[in-house]
């Protein structure tokens, strides 16, 4: 079946990802072509942001570019209004939501202490059941997390830019009300995209507004947290601790002070691993190529001005 759709899958710097996305495009019924002929591009290397502008320029007929990954902050300033841009928004949400649950339960149930023990430790731990949680962010990740936490009977407050209620949340408040929203939380969970507005949102003021026994959970980007302010809060004992799947920089250097706290658990950006993510990204690409062929609305459009 030749439906006429010609899609370039570029660059080729990640052979496994490239092959999986070529398969996805072909499964959807399109033809994989070179850039000169392509009317759309599937971007196949999240790390190759520097090549984006010249590669897209080499495809004069391309009207749509599918980016991988949900967080596109390394590419956001390279997008123009001449193309339709889509990204992996929502693709990785279930995996990252699962990581949030793992982080909360690991922290609340003192698993790091037990993992380091070499003899029977004292009993400790607290319930996630019925806890008060504040989520910074109201997108697909927050929604996936709310689905997983639903049976726990938690009181979840979402803080977001837009005033629309997040489905499943107990209440949704606007960003300026974030200090009040974290003031009674047992945990504060960062699920935001990294933009100029959200960079450093977890600062001294927000950390000070959190109860002393509240955990900070970051599955957004390292840039959401001001490291110096976090370290000051840890030293002062004004938060319970932090579980960080993202850090600034990444990888976090071995001599960074955040490695020295027993109540800081750092995981190496595994909210979704490549093994978990590639099949999900391939499914999204296949679905979007099918929609492109049919002329339907694509999933995961990027708001070029907002940068996510």
Pick 47 or 148: Cβ nearer its own copies: 148
Q: Closest approach of Cβ 285 to its own copies, in Å?
A: 20
114 near its own copies, rule: CB under 8 A:
yes
Please report the DSSP string for the chain in residue order.
Answer: -----EEEEE--SSHHHHHHHHHHHHHTTPEE--TTT-SEEEE--TT-GGGHHHHHHT-TT--EEEPPSS--TTTGGG--SSSEEE--TTTTHHHHHHHHHHHHHHHHTTHHHHHH-SS-PPP-----TT-EEEEE--SHHHHHHHHHHGGGT-EEEEEESS-SPPTT-SEEEEGGGHHHHHTT-SEEEE-----TTTTT-B-HHHHHHS-TTPEEEE-S-GGGB-HHHHHHHHHHT-SSEEEES--SSSSPPTT-GGGG-TTEEE--S-SS-HHHHHHHHHHHHHHHHHHHHHTPPPSSB--TTTT-
231 near its own copies, rule: CB under 8 A:
no
Size of residue set near its own copies by CB under 8 A: 50
Selected binder of its own copies within 47, 129, 164, 236 (CB under 8 A): 129
Q: Which of 83, 161, 256, 269 is catalytic?
A: 269
Asked if 256 is an active-site residue, the reply is no
Selected binder of its own copies within 33, 74, 199, 267 (CB under 8 A): 267
Pick 104 or 206: Cβ nearer its own copies: 104
301 near its own copies, rule: CB under 8 A:
no
Q: Which of 160, 178, 221, 226 is catalytic?
A: 221
Active-site residue numbers?
A: 221, 250, 269
Q: What residue ranges bind its own copies (CB under 8 A)?
A: 94-95, 98-99, 101-102, 105-106, 108-112, 114-129, 147-148, 150-152, 250-254, 259, 265-270, 273-276
């Amino acid at each position: 079946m030749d439906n006429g759709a010609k899609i370039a899958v570029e660059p080729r710097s990640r052979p496994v990802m490239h092959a999986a996305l070529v398969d996805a495009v072909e499964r959807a019924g399109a033809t994989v072509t070179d850039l000169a002929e392509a009317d759309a591009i599937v971007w196949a290397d999240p790390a190759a942001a520097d090549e984006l502008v010249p590669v897209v320029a080499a495809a004069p007929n391309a009207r749509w570019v599918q980016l991988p990954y949900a967080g596109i902050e390394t590419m956001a300033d390279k997008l123009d209004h001449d193309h339709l841009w889509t990204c992996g928004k929502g693709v990785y949400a279930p995996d990252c939501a699962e990581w949030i649950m793992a982080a909360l339960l690991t922290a609340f149930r003192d698993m790091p202490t037990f993992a380091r023990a070499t003899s029977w430790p004292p009993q400790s731990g607290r319930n996630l059941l019925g806890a008060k949680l504040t989520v910074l962010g109201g997108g697909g990740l927050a929604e996936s997390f709310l689905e997983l936490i639903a049976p726990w009977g938690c009181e979840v407050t979402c803080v977001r830019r837009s005033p629309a209620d997040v489905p499943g949340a107990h209440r949704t408040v606007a960003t300026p009300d974030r200090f009040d929203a974290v003031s009674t939380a047992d945990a504060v969970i960062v699920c935001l995209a990294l933009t100029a507005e959200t960079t450093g949102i977890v600062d001294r003021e927000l950390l000070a507004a959190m109860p002393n026994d509240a955990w900070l959970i970051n599955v957004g980007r390292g840039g959401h947290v001001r490291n110096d302010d976090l370290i000051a809060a840890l030293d002062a004992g004004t938060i319970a601790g932090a579980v960080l799947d993202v850090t600034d920089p990444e990888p976090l250097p071995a001599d960074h002070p955040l490695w020295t706290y027993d109540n800081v658990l750092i995981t190496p950006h595994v909210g979704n691993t490549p093994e978990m993510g590639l099949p999900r990204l391939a499914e999204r690409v296949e679905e979007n190529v099918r929609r492109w062929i049919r002329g339907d609305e694509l999933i995961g459009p990027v708001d070029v001005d907002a940068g996510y």
